[in-house]
Structure formats: structure tokens, C-alpha cells
Structure 1
Amino acid sequence: MTGLVLKDLKKRFGGTQVIRGVDLAIEDGEFVVFVGPSGCGKSTLLRMISGLEDITSGELYIGDRLVNDVQAAKRGVAMVFQSYALYPHLNVRDNMGFGLKVRKVPAAERERRVNEAAATLKLDALLHRYPRELSGGQRQRVAIGRAIVGNPDVFLFDEPLSNLDAELRVHMRSEIASLHKRLSTTMVYVTHDQIEAMTLADKIVVLRDGLIEQVGSPRELYERPGNLFVAQFIGSPKMNILPAASARLLAPFATPPASAESVGVRPEHLAVVEPSDNVLRGKIALSEYTGAVTLMHVELPNGQTCLVVHDGKDLPAFGSEIGLMADRQNLHFFDRNQMAAQQ
């Protein structure tokens, strides 16, 4: 059983503290995604787990071993990078088996492991090819295969899909999710893309400025964000944040808590109704048609723009006035400290 425990983990580069005290437990077999904006420390944290970055202070356990001073090669982890990092002069078979060869694993055992990984990743027919003869998605599968053959206790992924086009990203997401189900190995995955986080993770860790903002399942973070940052980072399009008084117009009988300064409502939870004095009113400033739905930008009387996901075929005309309403259970209230108040 191999999970991870991070205790008050910190990382400093000179006078700059990048990781500022992270406490986190990852269970054996979990798929955990680190997500956050650029510069939040997610890749640095992953490299600390892998052993590629030293730990300034705190404790890191892989299984029941304290690994602060354990070399990367002896931690029982395998890392898949954004850049694939394949050897251009080696074919797929030799790329996948290179690490085993360096560790002097017998040839017959190397071949068995490579063949098993190739079958798992559907690379059987590509073992004789060189990286230059592969697509981006195939190269990434080879990089994952190279990690699999080492039988690691923990897989680490550092933005592995960033170099792929949109269609390939969707395909590789499903392949990585299927791989996790087959292997049942602990996986830690770094991305700046919250859609990747939502679709892959058992548990999401939202990071900002070297600290954890919130940890939870995708559904928990979507339905019960702990603060304004998480509320607007998780979900696409991002949550609308309006003055707390707007709640009474959005939902009948909605009474904001006394401490609330803002109310959040997701664009997909807003319904378009006839304008009246009893609903939130606004004018259509822009419509973005995407096929299945249209994203409407609605200008409110206070000058704010509110996003609305509209799935109807009959769209309000540009400049027309509409009303907006939402169910009470879909409103999120935030106090002046930007912490989520009671829903």
C-alpha cells in the first residue's frame, strides 16, 4: 500500500519561498490532481515529491518511508514530463526499456515488461518506430510506457498533455483515466487546466501562491467552493460574483447571511425570464454561439457583466432586456474574508 503524506512542506529558492507549508495526505491508489494558476507552485511540489527538488523543511513520506534525503531513483516513483523526453536515436522498444537496461534488469525480463506495457497502451505495432515517426499522442504514450515498465509505487505527471492539440488532449485524458483504473496505482497529476482536473481526479488540490486553498472531489469543489478563488477557478465559464443584495432578485425568498458581501451563481444555473421589477435585469451585450449552447454576456444596471449559458434556440436579440433567476440552492454566499458562508 503506497500513499503519500506531506507535512508542513516548504521550499525556498534563495530569499523567495515558493511552497509555504503544505499539509496533504494522498491515499493508496488515489488519482490526485494539483491545479492552480501559473506560478502557484504545483510543479515545484511535484518535483519535491519526485526528488528532483530538495525539500527546504517539512517531511515527505512515500508509504511509511521518510524520503526527504532519499535519491529520486530510489523513491519508487516514475515521472512523465510535458516534453516526452524520448531518445531520438532509440526506437519505441528501446526507449521504453532504457531505464531497465541501466538498472541491469535481465534482457528477458526487460522484454516481458516492455511487451506488457506496450499491450496496455496499444503500442504493439509501433515498437520498431522512432520518435520522429510518431504523433504527439503516440510519443506521450511511449513516455507513459517507459514509466510503467519500472513498476513504480507512484506515478507523477507534470502537465503531460500541454503539447497536444485539443482533440488529442481529450483522447489522452480518457487513456490516462483508463490506465489508472487498470493499474490502481497512486497517481499525482499537475495541470493548469481545470477541465483536466475535473475529468480525471478522485481528489483535486487547488493551489495558490504556494499554499493549498481547498482539497476535495471535483463535485465538492464545484458545489461547495471554500472561497472566491476556488469558486471562480473551478468551473467553466467561471462563476459570476455579484453584490449580496442581488440574491433577493435572483431567487425568491433568498436572504443573504448578515456577513455576506457577495453572491456567486454559475452561468449554467441562470435562467432567462421576462424582465420585471422582481428579477435581476440586464441587457444582452454579446452572444457567443458554440453549437450546443450560447454564452451570453449580460450587462447589469450596475455596469457588471454577467455570463449566462443559454441552451434555447430562440436567443434574445442584441441589446434586448432580459430577466435572470436562479434556484436558491445554486447561490453561494461569501463574506468579507472571501470565505464561503453557509449556503
Structure 2
Amino acid sequence: MADVVLKDIRKQFGATEIIRGVDLTVDEGEFAVFVGPSGCGKSTLLRMISGLEDVSSGELHIGGRRMNDVQAAKRGVGMVFQSYALYPHLNVRDNMGFGLKVRKVPVDERDRRVREAAATLKLDALLDRYPRQLSGGQRQRVAIGRAIVGSPDVFLFDEPLSNLDAELRVHMRSEIAALHNRLKTTMIYVTHDQIEAMTLADKIVVLRDGLVEQIGSPRDLYEKPNNVFVAQFIGSPRMNLLPAAEAKLISPTHALPASAVSVGVRPEHLRVVEPTTDSLSATVTLNEYTGAVTLMHVELPGGQTCLVVDDKRDMPPIGTRIGLTADKDNLHFFDADGRAVS
């Protein structure tokens, strides 16, 4: 295991700065997830850690050792890509052991490591199969196994589940979490899927436009977002954002912070009540029944759409006028610059 420390890391392609000064520490044995919209720089940052991209400026340390000028193969990292990148003419055993063969690891040692990794990933019975004979999930496990056999200090995952269907993504997500629990190795995982980030991470790093917006545990980011971007990026469905004046209707007893211009409330924290002067008036425009909950779309008097999650099976029909309230502890206030205020 090793920690990963980034100090004012920057990356430029020509005159364009992609990573604009990132400071970050991933502790030994920690599972950190880089998350953010497409183009935010999360994959570029991962590739800089791996050595596949040069660091334009700043300091990169792995296990206390400066890695800026160290070759990728000598950094002690194992990379799992979005593409499985398996050799079609090699079976599972040879695909997993190929990197060790290139490094001239003795055959007996190579076979031992492959068998151990195959047992960890439940690939024992598939070692003689070829990639064309495997499912998508099995191919992804082979790609992970190829990284495991190198006994890296740090595992790096670049959107490894994006090519899988929804059901298989959920299954593989649990397998990666279980793998981390078994190996206790430092892992850094890149995804644009905030559900993956929330379920896998010890620490989430939210990125936007090459900068870190917030770092913290999934609970910290969900319950105490630093700004509007994090508040609406973390959580599904996304947080409702309303004019601050609406807070007096949603929660009449709550004092409005002086600098607040907007109030955020998550769809699951809104309650449907009879419309009164002490509630926020809304009209139901759509009900989406998903089984466990119903996602209700409502329109506010100003024309803004708001989402409400409710576990009731029978929701008010379309066109019904309702009231909305929320507990004051579930309200989030933001200033004119989008920063959280209390």
C-alpha cells in the first residue's frame, strides 16, 4: 500500500490549462473516487498519477517518493481502463500474466500470481477461455486480474464499468467494493456516475473545469455541500434550487441567512400537505411510479419545476394543487456566488 499526494498539480496542452492546481492526499488503503461531468479533467488527473500523462507543474508523490519523472512501469501502480484491452489471441491465463512475462518474472512465480488473482476474482474455471468466450463482466474481471498480478501499491480505475449494462454495472460495483475490502490496497477510481461514487468511495473528489470543488466522504458531500454545483451533482434526483424567499413557505419557522439568495432542498426531504398559507403552493404535472417510490413533478407559481420523492403508492393526480413543506434542518442556503451559507 502507498499514499498518493498531489501538490498544486497542473496540466497544460499547449496554451490550454486542463488541470488548474489540484491539492489532494489519498491515504494508504483508502478508496478515493474522482467524479465530475465530462471534460472536468478527472481522467487526465488519473493518467498523470499513472504516468501516462506528464505533469506540467506541481509535485506528485506515491508512497513518499516523487514520481514526476518516473516511468509509468516503475510507479507501482496498476491501471484498469474503460476498454478491457485484452489480447484476443491469448487465453485468460496468458492475458493476466502477460505483463509479468514482459517483465521476465519466472514462470513458476507468474503462474502462482495468476492462480491467486483468478481465485480472488472467481476466474479459476475460465483460465483456458479466450476473450470472445467471456461475458462483459468476465472480461472486466480479467482486466482487473491483470492489474492485481503485478501487486501494485495503488490501483487506478478509469471508468471501468461504463461499457456494461445497468444490471451488470451494479454487480461489478459490488465486486470492486468487495475486492477493496479483501486487498486493503489504495484505490483511485474515476467515474461520471455519482451513484458509483457514493456507493464505493471512502473519499469523493468532485471536479469541475480542472479544479476541485469539494473533497469529503459521501455523507459529507450529500449533507454539507460547499456550493450549488456539488449540491446538485451529488444526489439523485438532483437537489431542487429555489429562490431564498421560498424557504419561508417551505419551513416558516426558519430564519433566512442574510446573504442567502437561493435555497436547496432534496426531493426526498419535501413533504406533500394540504395547501395553506404556511406551505409552498404547487401543481402536480407528472407522476413517475418506480415501485419503491414515486417521483412527482410539480410546477410552482412562478413556472419553475420541482421534484418530490415520496414512498406513497397513491399520489395526487395530475392537475392537483398541493402544498410542500420541509424540516429546517434539510434546507441548504447559497449566496449570490453559489457558495453555501448558514
User: Which of the five TM-score ranges fits, normalised by the shorter chain?
Assistant: over 0.9
Coordinate RMSD, CA, aligned: 0.6
Alignment match, 1:290? 290
Alignment match, 2:261? 261
User: In structure 2, what is the Cα distance between the partners aligned to 1:314 and 1:60?
Assistant: 55
User: In structure 2, what is the Cα distance between the partners aligned to 1:291 and 1:215?
Assistant: 33
User: In structure 2, what is the Cα distance between the partners aligned to 1:99 and 1:314?
Assistant: 57
Alignment match, 1:119? 119
Deviation at 1:295, TM superposition (A): 0.7
Alignment match, 2:341? 341
Alignment match, 2:19? 19
Deviation at 1:259, TM superposition (A): 0.2
State the AA in 2 paired with 1:103: R
The one-character-per-residue Cα deviations of 1:74-111 (angstroms, maximum 9, x if unpaired) are 00001000110100000000000000011111111011
State the AA in 2 paired with 1:114: V
User: In structure 1, what is the Cα distance between the partners aligned to 2:156 and 2:316?
Assistant: 47
State the AA in 1 paired with 2:267: P
Normalization by structure 1: what TM-score? 0.99
The one-character-per-residue Cα deviations of 1:136-178 (angstroms, maximum 9, x if unpaired) are 0000000000000000000000000000000000000000000
User: In structure 2, what is the Cα distance between the partners aligned to 1:284 and 1:275?
Assistant: 12
Alignment match, 1:209? 209
Secondary structure of the residue aligned to 1:276 is coil
Is residue 170 from structure 1 mapped to residue 207 from structure 2 by the alignment?
Answer: no
Pick which of 243-252 and 176-185 moved more.
243-252
User: In structure 2, what is the Cα distance between the partners aligned to 1:186 and 1:278?
Assistant: 51
User: In structure 1, what is the Cα distance between the partners aligned to 2:121 and 2:307?
Assistant: 41
Is residue 279 from structure 1 mapped to residue 263 from structure 2 by the alignment?
Answer: no
Alignment match, 1:309? 309
Alignment match, 2:81? 81
Alignment match, 2:59? 59
Deviation at 1:251, TM superposition (A): 1.2
Secondary structure of the residue aligned to 1:291 is coil
Deviation at 1:311, TM superposition (A): 1.2
Alignment match, 2:218? 218
Alignment match, 2:138? 138
Secondary structure of the residue aligned to 2:147 is helix
State the AA in 2 paired with 1:247: A
State the AA in 2 paired with 1:279: S
Deviation at 1:287, TM superposition (A): 1.2
User: In structure 2, what is the Cα distance between the partners aligned to 1:86 and 1:209?
Assistant: 32
Q: Is the 8 A contact 2:204 2:217 kept in 1?
A: yes
Deviation at 1:313, TM superposition (A): 1.8
For structure 2, the 5+ residue unaligned runs are none
Secondary structure of the residue aligned to 2:340 is coil
Alignment match, 1:43? 43
The one-character-per-residue Cα deviations of 1:243-301 (angstroms, maximum 9, x if unpaired) are 11111111131111000000000000001000111100100011111111111110000
Secondary structure of the residue aligned to 1:338 is coil
Deviation at 1:22, TM superposition (A): 0.3
State the AA in 2 paired with 1:45: L
State the AA in 2 paired with 1:42: K
Alignment match, 1:251? 251
Deviation at 1:15, TM superposition (A): 1.2
The one-character-per-residue Cα deviations of 1:205-229 (angstroms, maximum 9, x if unpaired) are 0000000000000000000000000
Identity %: 77
Secondary structure of the residue aligned to 2:341 is coil
User: In structure 2, what is the Cα distance between the partners aligned to 1:180 and 1:161?
Assistant: 16
User: In structure 2, what is the Cα distance between the partners aligned to 1:313 and 1:267?
Assistant: 16
Deviation at 1:330, TM superposition (A): 0.3
State the AA in 1 paired with 2:6: L
State the AA in 2 paired with 1:270: L
Which runs of structure 2 are paired with 1:189-208 in the superposition (5 Å)? 189-208=189-208
User: In structure 2, what is the Cα distance between the partners aligned to 1:311 and 1:290?
Assistant: 10
Secondary structure of the residue aligned to 1:257 is coil
User: In structure 1, what is the Cα distance between the partners aligned to 2:310 and 2:178?
Assistant: 33
State the AA in 2 paired with 1:331: L
State the AA in 1 paired with 2:7: K
Alignment match, 1:31? 31
State the AA in 2 paired with 1:10: R
Q: Is the 8 A contact 2:294 2:313 kept in 1?
A: no
The one-character-per-residue Cα deviations of 1:297-327 (angstroms, maximum 9, x if unpaired) are 1000011101000211221010010110111
State the AA in 2 paired with 1:251: S
Alignment match, 2:236? 236
User: In structure 2, what is the Cα distance between the partners aligned to 1:204 and 1:6?
Assistant: 15
Secondary structure of the residue aligned to 2:129 is coil
Alignment match, 1:188? 188
Instruction: Give the paired residue count.
Output: 342
User: In structure 2, what is the Cα distance between the partners aligned to 1:317 and 1:286?
Assistant: 8
